[in-house]
Homo-oligomer: A and B are copies of this chain.
């Protein structure tokens, strides 16, 4: 089965990656819970909610369906889910199951982290992108002034990944998810990177996808075990995210997916790395692969000053100085402080170049 296992600071947990595992969730529970609340969204609910619900003991299983939008990561939905949990009578021996993509996982995980000061929860990702966010215990909601600004490090008791559900995800979701896989490859494993570059997303098989997901999660798990609270090496997982987040919020959430924005951010990080370290990276190869696989790379009339300001307010910034993840080679990430002036120059030439690509 090749399940993965991860040691967190507070406990160890399994990452189950199997086909049709959603029909057998109950068998994976390590103990008997007094009640279970499944949190999912309105897109996932009609597809898989009943499957998961029926796999659990019939008594005291409750469900909450949130809107399938980034806005569900706001303080209102967060408070509302707490209200429902209280009204259903969840107690300290209850379990929350996060069934969905990154929004559901981040929100439900943060509710679990803070409900009565923390109860158990399981991540059940239903997207490719969420292979990344479901592992490692970073949970959060958004503040209107920035993404993921309110949250915890709070590991789940298990990740239950039914890769069979990935057969039906849209091309856009495949693109978004593969960006995070490329990120993991770029910071840790050149042969994995090459394997992805040899894969065409339009003719992707489920075997290829499952193999890539397993490789990606293994990289993520290793890093999270080394540095759960993101004091050093875990920061590498933010490759492409400083610009990526800025693009997402500048264009407005929903107009470009997280992964699509991160893909552009990674290209940028590679370009900056090349100029800073006088090295050659496979950025041209990545660019062509992104183009061949229909990633949106035109940022239109985006304002580089606005991007810059958003990057500066990123929560990875310290003392107002911007930190970027760069590469000295594929598999050799570094954290580098980049001055505002340099960033401005890099960014202008990069957006010009994208316009003409």
Contacts and interface: CB of A to CB of B under 8 A. Distances in A.
Contacts of A86: 143, 145-146, 149, 313
A115 B151 CA distance: 7
A145 B9 contact: no
A287 B176 CA distance: 67
Given A143-B82, A315-B92, A117 B152 contact: yes
Number of copies of this chain that the complex holds: 2
Interface stretch (A157-165, A245-253, A317-325): A317-325
Contacts of A332: none
A198 to B, nearest CB: 36
Interface in A73-100: 75, 79, 82-83, 86-87, 89, 91-93
B34 A145 contact: no
A160 to B, nearest CB: 24
Contact of A92 (B79, B114, B318): B318
Nearest to A312: B89
A93 B150 contact: no
Interface residues of A, number: 39
Interface in A219-234: 229-230
A149 B116 contact: yes
A87 B145 CA distance: 9
Nearest to A319: B34
Contacts of A275: none
A91 B317 contact: yes
Contacts of A316: 92
A93 to B, nearest CB: 5
Contacts of A296: none
Interface string A174-185: 000000000000
A32 to B, nearest CB: 10
A114 B9 contact: no
A116 B152 contact: no
Given A75-B75, A93-B318, A114 B152 contact: yes
In the A-B complex, list the 7 residue pairs whose CB atoms are closest, starting with the nearest.
A34-B319, A117-B151, A116-B315, A86-B145, A114-B150, A91-B318, A93-B318
6 contacts: A82-B149, A91-B315, A93-B319, A115-B149, A116-B149, A118-B152
Interface of A: 9-10, 34, 75, 79, 82-83, 86-87, 89, 91-93, 113-118, 138, 140, 143, 145-146, 148-153, 229-230, 313, 315-320
